[in-house]
Amino acid sequence: MRYIVVDLEATCWTAPRNSDMMEIIEIGAVCLIGSAGPAVGEFAEFVRPAESPILSEFCIELTTITQNMTDVADPFTLVFPRFVDWIGKEPFRLVSWGGYDLTQFKKDCVRHKIPLPASFENHINLKQEFSRVKKLKPMGMKAALEILGIPLSGTHHRGIDDARNTSMIAQIILPLLKP
Ligand code: AMP
Ligand code: MG
């Protein structure tokens, strides 16, 4: 079985806003060829948000994604089909840290009237599985890396770096799960 470990970045603001306003600005993903790896490919693309194209200072600071990076990026309507193409036709399970990424895909697909492939629903919430296997309360991905003694690589809150780090945890936890 292949595992697509994905991490999304999205528009955000300091003041609490309706999460329905959030739009994907980066899709980062790593493809694992089996539950213990190895990683055989990566997808990393920025996305130009449609409804709130101006990034907040807070969002730029959190993600290190600049206004120019999203200004020159394609919209979700072009990037998402490329992501689906990159995944390909072979069976896979989508993996992410928590439930957020799948929810955000659903919201952006509804916003842009693009169907979400049914295969995306075959999702593994690695945050939940990690806490179940380790018998610990659910925690952030950074804390989980520390527990496993894996150094955080790259920049936290960048989609591709978060996806790479999550894939390191996945390769330890996925082999322990029932098929
Ligand atoms: P992450 O994968 O943890 O980088 O988070 C994904 C997205 O969730 C970010 O791109 C932000 O849109 C949002 N987010 C994460 N952390 C925060 C935070 N502390 N405050 C507001 N939004 C956040
Ligand atoms: Mg992230």
DSSP β-bridge partners for residue 29? 6, 43
Q: Which ligand is nearest to the CA of 60?
A: 1
Q: Would you say the CB of residue 10 lies under 6 angstroms from ligand 1?
A: yes
Residues in CB range of 160: below 8 A, 6 or more apart: 7, 26, 28, 29, 42, 44, 154
pLDDT at 179 (0 to 100): 72
Q: Which domains does the chain have, with CATH numbers?
A: 2-176 (3.30.420.10)
| Interval between CA 57 and ligand 1 midpoint (Å) | 13
Catalytic residue (choose from 23, 26, 45, 157) = 157
| Contact between residue 10 and residue 25 where contact means Cβ atoms under 8 Å apart | yes
pLDDT at 76 (0 to 100): 98
pLDDT at 156 (0 to 100): 97
pLDDT at 15 (0 to 100): 75
Question: pLDDT for 45-102, tens place per residue?
Answer: 999 999 999 999 999 999 999 999 999 999 999 999 999 999 999 999 999 999 999 9
Strands 2-10 and 92-96: parallel
Percent of the chain with pLDDT over 70: 99
90 is catalytic: no
157 is catalytic: yes
Residues in CB range of 140: below 8 A, 6 or more apart: none
Question: pLDDT for 107-146, tens place per residue?
Answer: 999 999 999 999 999 999 999 999 999 999 999 999 999 9
